[in-house]
């Protein structure tokens, strides 16, 4: 098949599956033009490593000249003035960008219900959420609307929707992939990561997008291994699992059984599988939500009605323009987080919340580091339940926050983690399993997960 045929195939799929609402923008003509160019390159034998790979990108990644909305009304009609490094690196290797994918507004959410562009439907069961915030990106891969997607993961947004949709989601170590051109949610947590059908594809995409970047000083200078050619695992792994993570009441029995069965199987295969007690587990979510809302309130202060997107028609003076533009432009969840973040950063509460959360962050890092002296990997469920019904949890935001319990750990401490499909529950909904490794040990993590899958 030619690249052009591939693009036409995906364009046809996107339009026949448009009820899923996975894409918010499709670059039909542009994708077809680049496919023709790449077909020419292929015929002369000088095409890039991703030639013919048709990719969708989450609506938080800049792509020069294309709209970038973060699924928010405040950025309506805004066009990106430059291209994100991760996206540019895909283009440089001749990947074809087919469109922009729906997500929770400013990547805040776990169900895609916070998008101002409408919910995304899980292709396994259209009455259920795809997870979030990279819901459109996960569904696009699940439903065969593109080959792979690029999402962002601040507290699970690549791994959790991947688990709900039965695909692979990889969150690299903090600083492995440049954040240049990624709309900031919580800068010390944000990571760009691929969503794919297989571990092999995730490895290949990571090796293309990772590595030093003059535009992002938080990116590591470490060289990038050839992840995709190191995907074999032999030998025994030392695996830890957090004891409470399997015993807690709030975990669905099917998820517990699924994780337990995998751990038992690994034991039978001779791997060293041990429970650990993580004394700081109960502090993970509060730490995550205090620090991310604090960072978000600061990052989102740039949307003031002056520099980007929406400006209120009804403003009378400068102050009312700020207020009205922000009130009209931001959705409820984003407003809530800005308020929370402003509160934890306010002079009277700064030490009680922000400083304390930073200290706990350090303690979690130290405790986890101690565990990893004895283990190669941590294995856990990705989520406490399988995909829930659309609307089911909208009345209970705390329940939604609690569902991030397994994924936020990796972001709080900057470790890499991956979610891979691991069967399904009794009603046939996908179940994922999470593997977390030491910082910058993606190579090992990918080799091991390719052995698992």
Is 133 a known active-site residue?
yes
88 vs 112 by CB, closer to ligand GLN: 112
Residue 193 as a binder of ligand GLN (CB under 6 A): the answer is no
185 vs 303 by CB, closer to ligand GLN: 185
Binding test (CB under 6 A) with ligand GLN, winner from 164, 185, 378, 415:
185
Q: Within 10 Å of residue 296's Cβ, how many Cβ atoms?
A: 25
User: Which x/- pattern, by CB under 6 A, does the window 139-178 give for ligand GLN?
Assistant: --------------xxxxx---------------------
Least distance from ligand GLN to the Cβ atom of residue 133, Å: 4
CA distances from 304 to 73, 180, 275, 325 (A): 13, 21, 49, 7
DSSP-assigned states of every residue in 85-96: HHHHHHHHTT-E
The Cα 307–Cα 121 span in angstroms is 33
Residue 72 as a binder of ligand GLN (CB under 6 A): the answer is no
Q: Within 10 Å of residue 349's Cβ, how many Cβ atoms?
A: 14
The Cα 175–Cα 216 span in angstroms is 9
310 vs 337 by CB, closer to ligand GLN: 337
Contacts of 49 (CB under 8 A, 6+ apart): 93, 94, 204, 208
Least distance from ligand GLN to the Cβ atom of residue 246, Å: 22
296 vs 452 by CB, closer to ligand GLN: 296
42 vs 281 by CB, closer to ligand GLN: 281
Q: Within 10 Å of residue 374's Cβ, how many Cβ atoms?
A: 11
Residue 109 as a binder of ligand GLN (CB under 6 A): the answer is yes
Is 72 a known active-site residue?
no
**Cβ-proximal residue to ligand GLN, closest one:** 157
Tell which residue, 27, 23, 81, 88, has the closest CA to residue 308. 81
Residue 293 as a binder of ligand GLN (CB under 6 A): the answer is no
CA distances from 45 to 39, 40, 51, 207, 308 (A): 10, 9, 11, 21, 43
Is 41 a known active-site residue?
no
Binding test (CB under 6 A) with ligand GLN, winner from 31, 107, 192, 209:
107
Residue 108 as a binder of ligand GLN (CB under 6 A): the answer is yes
> One of 152, 157, 178, 419 is an active-site residue; which one?
157
Binding test (CB under 6 A) with ligand GLN, winner from 207, 404, 442, 443:
404
User: Which x/- pattern, by CB under 6 A, does the window 250-289 give for ligand GLN?
Assistant: ----------------------------------------
Least distance from ligand GLN to the Cβ atom of residue 107, Å: 4
Instruction: Give the residue ranges of DSSP H helices in 300-426.
Output: 318-329, 332-345, 356-371, 397-402, 408-413
Host H or E run for residue 55: strand 54-58
The Cα 121–Cα 141 span in angstroms is 13
CA-based end-to-end distance of the chain: 27
Q: What is the largest CA-CA distance in the chain?
A: 71
Residue 105 as a binder of ligand GLN (CB under 6 A): the answer is no
**Region of 177 on the Ramachandran plot (φ > 0 left; ψ -120 to 50 alpha; else beta):** beta
Cβ–Cβ < 8 Å for 260, 308: no
277 exposure class (CB count in 10 Å sphere: 0-12, 13-18, 19+): exposed
The Cα 418–Cα 364 span in angstroms is 19
By CB under 6 A, how many residues form the interface with ligand GLN? 13
3 vs 108 by CB, closer to ligand GLN: 108
Least distance from ligand GLN to the Cβ atom of residue 223, Å: 27
154 vs 386 by CB, closer to ligand GLN: 154
The one segment of 49-57, 101-109, 308-316, 385-393 that binds ligand GLN by CB under 6 A: 101-109
The one segment of 17-25, 81-89, 102-110, 116-124 that binds ligand GLN by CB under 6 A: 102-110
> One of 34, 70, 110, 133 is an active-site residue; which one?
133
Least distance from ligand GLN to the Cβ atom of residue 276, Å: 24
Residue 385 as a binder of ligand GLN (CB under 6 A): the answer is no
**Site of tokens 């283990």:** 375
Q: Which residues bind ligand GLN (CB under 6 A)?
A: 107-110, 133, 153-157, 185, 292, 404
Catalytically annotated residues: 58, 133, 157
């Amino acid at each position: 098949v030619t690249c052009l045929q591939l693009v036409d195939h995906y364009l046809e799929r996107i339009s026949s599956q448009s009820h899923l609402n996975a894409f918010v923008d499709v670059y039909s003509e542009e994708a077809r033009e680049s496919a023709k160019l790449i077909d020419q390159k292929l015929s002369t034998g000088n095409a890039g490593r991703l030639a013919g790979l048709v990719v969708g990108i989450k609506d938080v990644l800049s792509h020069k000249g294309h709209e970038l909305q973060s699924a928010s009304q405040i950025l309506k009609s805004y066009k990106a003035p430059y291209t994100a490094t991760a996206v540019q690196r895909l283009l440089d290797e001749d990947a074809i960008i087919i469109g922009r994918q729906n997500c929770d507004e400013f990547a805040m959410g776990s169900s895609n219900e916070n998008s101002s562009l409408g919910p995304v439907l899980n292709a396994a069961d259209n009455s259920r959420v795809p997870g979030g915030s990279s819901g459109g990106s996960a569904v696009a891969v699940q439903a065969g609307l593109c080959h792979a997607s690029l999402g962002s993961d601040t507290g699970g947004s690549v791994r959790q929707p991947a688990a709900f949709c039965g695909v692979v989601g990889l969150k690299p170590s903090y600083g492995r992939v440049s954040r240049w051109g990624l709309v900031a949610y919580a800068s010390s947590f944000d990571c760009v990561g691929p969503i794919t059908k297989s571990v092999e594809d995730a490895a290949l995409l990571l090796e293309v997008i990772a590595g030093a970047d003059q535009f992002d000083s938080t990116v590591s200078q470490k060289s990038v291994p050839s992840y995709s050619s190191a995907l074999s695992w032999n030998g025994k792994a030392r695996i830890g699992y957090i004891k409470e993570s399997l015993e807690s009441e709030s975990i669905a029995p099917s998820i517990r059984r699924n994780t337990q069965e995998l751990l038992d199987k690994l034991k039978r295969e001779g791997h060293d599988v041990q429970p650990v007690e993580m004394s700081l587990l109960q502090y993970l979510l509060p730490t995550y939500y205090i620090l991310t809302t604090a960072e978000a309130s600061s990052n989102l202060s740039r949307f003031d009605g002056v520099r980007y997107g929406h400006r209120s028609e009804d403003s009378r003076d400068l102050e009312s323009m700020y207020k009205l533009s922000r009130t009209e432009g931001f959705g409820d969840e984003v407003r809530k987080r800005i308020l929370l973040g402003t509160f934890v950063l306010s002079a009277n509460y700064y030490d009680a919340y922000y400083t304390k959360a930073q200290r706990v962050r350090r303690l979690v890092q130290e405790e986890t580091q101690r565990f990893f002296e004895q283990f190669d990997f941590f294995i856990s469920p990705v989520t406490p339940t399988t995909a829930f019904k659309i609307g089911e949890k909208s009345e209970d935001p705390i329940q939604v926050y609690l569902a991030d319990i397994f994924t936020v750990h990796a972001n709080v401490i900057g470790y890499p983690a991956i979610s891979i499909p691991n069967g399904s529950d009794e009603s046939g909904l996908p179940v994922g399993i999470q593997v977390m490794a030491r910082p910058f040990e993606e190579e090992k993590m990918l080799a091991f997960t390719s052995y698992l899958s």
